[in-house]
Copies of this chain bind each other. A is one copy, B any other.
Amino acid sequence: MKLASLRCERPDGRLVVVSRDLNRAVDAGHLAPSLRDTLERWEAVAPGLERLYAALNAGDAADAFDFDPSACAAPLPRSFQWCDASAFLNHGRLMERAFNTAPIPDFGTIPVMYQGASDDFLGPHDDVPLPSESLGIDFEGEFGVILDRVPMGTQAPQALERVRLLVQVNDWSLRALGPREMASGFGFLQAKPSTSFAPVAITPDELGDDWRDGRVHLDLHVAWNDAHFGQPNGGEMNFSFGELIAHAARTRSLGAGTIVGSGTVSNVDRAVGSACIAERRVIEVLDHGAPRTAFMRFGDRVRMEARTRDGGAPFGSIEQRVVQANEAGGEQA
């Protein structure tokens, strides 16, 4: 099934079930007030949501309405945990060359993962307010999973069974701030502003065979100001989501609603392009001796859409614009 959270006066949004073709939606407030609440009691709530989804797809849901992605918050407008990996080694190795940082120890055998901010996610069409163009504004196209509670010490095969929903992510990054935060050893903080999500979170069965081996085997189509930028495939992930979850749960339990991200989708085949600007820039350095592509300017737009072989977009689209944050209060002007 497909679930979304419409913006409302409540910070966790209003839970709706969305039709498979993303055309129609129906309120699910009588089953659960929010997706966050749903995840905390999945076994009790999910069957009712599945029945509502079946009725909606059959055209039998009372009070259904046209689905408007621009009315969406992130599926989870906030969560108690967001852990983002760098599980496409091709991306990580290019980034080492981009930032001239030392090789990460055990990069091929132990996942790297940072703890991200989860208090203030952005919706699929939300403007992205940032303080300055000089910070190296970049997008990062990713996939992610939303989990039920995971006990400490859970191993990868069992960890994969805790996946409840799949999501498509834009992990905004400020490249001018990254190297200093990496050099501190404490990891990304200012370099990672609010993360954005495609409109719907979907159960794994929605992808059929495109969800296998703990990976999303879809091309992630990225366009910058309407120009095609890349379409790397998620199947090339070097660690499965099961392995990433087990890594996060090694020394602690993970609460229900935890989101784990793949890191920037990236393929060895350069012909498919990239899902972030920094990666294109380092390839330009390798090919031409210097980067030719600048980072984003205020007013720039990015579009991200994972597509099936028949052209469907199971998560809907991320379509965002970068804007100048209000210097007085920091809120968007």
- Structural contact, A251 and B135, CB atoms closer than 8 A: yes
- Structural contact, A106 and B189, CB atoms closer than 8 A: no
- Within the assembled complex, what's the spacing in Å between the Cα atoms of A182 and B186? 6
Task: Report chain B residues within 8 Å CB of A152.
Answer: 129, 131, 325, 330-331
Determine whether A188 belongs to the interface, using a CB cutoff of 8 Å to chain B. yes
CB distance from A113 to the nearest CB of B (A): 5
Task: Report chain B residues within 8 Å CB of A182.
Answer: 185-186
Determine whether A208 belongs to the interface, using a CB cutoff of 8 Å to chain B. no
Determine whether A311 belongs to the interface, using a CB cutoff of 8 Å to chain B. no
Task: Report chain B residues within 8 Å CB of A157.
Answer: none
- Within the assembled complex, what's the spacing in Å between the Cα atoms of A106 and B183? 10
Q: A119-B81, A193-B252, A255-B78 are in contact. Are A114 and B329 (CB under 8 A)?
A: no
- Structural contact, B153 and A80, CB atoms closer than 8 A: no
Determine whether A112 belongs to the interface, using a CB cutoff of 8 Å to chain B. yes
Task: Report chain B residues within 8 Å CB of A102.
Answer: 183
CB-based nearest B residue for A186: B114
List which A122-152 residues lie within 8 A (CB) of chain B.
Answer: 129-131, 135, 151-152
Determine whether A247 belongs to the interface, using a CB cutoff of 8 Å to chain B. yes
